[in-house]
Amino acid sequence: MTTTHPFAQRSDLDFELPPFSQIRNEDYLPAFYQGCEEQLAEVQAILNTSGAATFENTIVALEKSGQMLTRTLLVFFNKSSSDTSDALNAIEEELAPKLAAHHDAINLNPLLFARIKSLYDTREALGLNTEDAWLLERYYKDLIHAGAHLTETERERLKALNEELSKLQTQFAKNVLADTNDLGVLVENLDELDGLSDNQIASAAAAAKDRGHEGKWLIGMVNFTGNPVLDSLTNRELRKKIMNLSLVKGNRANDYDNKPVLLKIVKLRAERARLFGKNTHAEYVIAVQTAEHPDNVHAMLRKIAPAAVRNAKTEAEDLKKSAGAAIESWDWGFYTEQVRLEKYNIDTTKMRPYFELESVLKNGVFFAANKLFGITFKERPDLVTYHPEARAFEVSNADGSKLGLFIGDFYTRDSKRGGAWMNSLVRQNFLFDQLPVVVNNLNIPKPPAGKPTLLTFSETTTLFHEFGHALHGLLSQVKYPRVSGTSVQRDFVEFPSQVNEMWILWPEVVESYARHHETGEKLPQEWIDNLDKASTFNEGHATTSYLAAAILDLAWHSLTVEEAAKVTDVEAFEAQAIKDYGLDFAPVPTRYRSTYFSHIFAGGYSAGYYGYIWSEVLDADTVDWFKENGGLQSKNGEHFRNTLLGRGGSIDSMQMFRNFRGRDSRIEPLLKRRGLL
């Protein structure tokens, strides 16, 4: 095996930034295979250790294993999600099943499990500190969840299931990206784009040119149902076309049809759950989340669903008055903007000149983080990242010491998957004395060269949200990589990012960043006040659309093996699932249909998409705490950082919340925020 690839050693660049100028596609597989061999040898060395198992020679040794593999995978999966290619897709197809097999070789090793179990069974006598004790518990329970306790026959079947699922999930993601790109709408007449801003039209022209259609305009599809242009596009037929095409991603008779892929995934996940003695995949997944059981999730969602649909239907009646006709899904955004203007004197299209990307980022997102946590940001154009559009910022503490590196990759491109997310390239930990390197990816349409990037209010919200994830990674202060940053339970991970959204309209913050990009004029206070007054406006639609997707996720993953085998019609199943929950309201389609629901069929949110609103209970309660304690003040940031953000996953998630809030969470702030009381 070669050791000449760029992943063989820790990077000697600032912050251990991977040496992207040296990394080539042909480096990934050799580094992957060598990394797997190296980690397996390290695990075998643990098993060969003479004498009884100790925390140091077993748990800490495991934490130290696999460093080359970790370096390789963090870089590869960041690249494959944000700037993929046919070559990278081929690598991922080879890598995914072998990675699943590698993890199984470790997690399902009975000798390793016996060592860890012996430590866990005698944990009270080990004299461990809180973080060490929690790490031991995590290892033990994670191995149980992985199947280490199963019989040899069951473990062999589990390995086969995991390998096949990894292939299918990779194929699902590949199909979604390809079909999303394929479904872009090419417009040949400028008049058809009436209602769009000059910036949006220029972006559409640039997108068309990039695909070889100079002189035309391309409306690209997005990863969710609908499209932001539907809010302002006056051409109803074009709106209808865009909406209908957005609903068929991965659901056409072509090479990208995801229906057979997802049906196989559902069946195999149900079979895997049965191996663990669970009735369904949802029971298996949620057992290790803060919700603990699907019944607890449904208990909360059923409190919300009826009020959400009721509000959505009331909103539809308001829109109908404005439209003078029944509202269809492709009309909702357009007439929402009109009613928003009539009711609250809010014209979001006029706000875009006040939300210029550079100002939102530096004078808004960074400004709020500085006020709360004392941290500062300095752009480092000298650092080479994985793509020319990915920008690096050095982050420092208030005393000038280095905190980490933030990379912002804001623009959409055909090689980037849809949505917005945070990745880590280096995880903070004291075990190896590593500072964090975190990445935020967004999908903002890129304007032509020399033109400003003017954001919608929704895109501004997304930027604040994703930076909340970045803060969770940057502010981490833990010993072990396994519990660093966002390594918390899945239904807790969205909580800090949602909290960070509260600063968007906070007086001191909005005054700092929301300035007209040409005149410097502040966003009018009347508009800000009106946004506050309209905070629950259209929440019926937003909540219903989200809940339909969350229920769809739970429905697929609440099937037993026998039930999953009987499902052959994807569309009929999803329609029935949404109807059974009372969420079937045609003008408000589910945020994701099954065939492009990458969160659950290609990502880590299977049986966990409910986590956004589950986390929002904590978020809304936390926002109340900040308001009660004076808001954007360093003492509040210090408390939030010390009790929660800085702890990563080093203690129980809900205990962290209690340490921060002083009590358990309450649902009332969420219901009030969404207008559901």
466 a catalytic residue: yes
Q: Which residue has the tokens 């759950």?
A: 273
Q: Which DSSP helix (H) or strand (E) runs through 632? A: none
Spatial CA neighbour of 79 closest among 161, 163, 6 = 6
Give the amino acid at 672: K
Spatial CA neighbour of 532 closest among 498, 505, 499 = 505
Q: What crossing angle do the helices spanning 86-107 and 25-48 adopt, rounded to 10°? A: 0
Spatial CA neighbour of 46 closest among 98, 124, 116 = 116
Q: What is the Cα–Cα distance from 479 to 498, expressed in whole angstroms?
A: 26
Whether 649 and 511 have beta carbons less than 8 Å apart is answered as no
Whether 297 and 611 have beta carbons less than 8 Å apart is answered as no
Give the amino acid at 590: T
Q: What is the Cα–Cα distance from 259 to 267, expressed in whole angstroms?
A: 13
CA distances to 181, 319, 424, 548, 607 from 589, rounded to whole Å, are 21, 16, 33, 8, 20
Spatial CA neighbour of 572 closest among 159, 234, 263, 123 = 263
Active-site residue, from 16, 38, 63, 466:
466
CA distances to 87, 90, 411, 555 from 84, rounded to whole Å, are 8, 10, 14, 31
Q: What is the Cα–Cα distance from 383 to 404, expressed in whole angstroms?
A: 13
Whether 438 and 343 have beta carbons less than 8 Å apart is answered as no
Contacts of 469 (CB under 8 A, 6+ apart): 421, 422, 438, 440, 486, 493, 496, 497
Phi-psi region of 66 (alpha: psi -120 to 50; beta: other; left: phi over 0): left
Catalytically annotated residues: 466
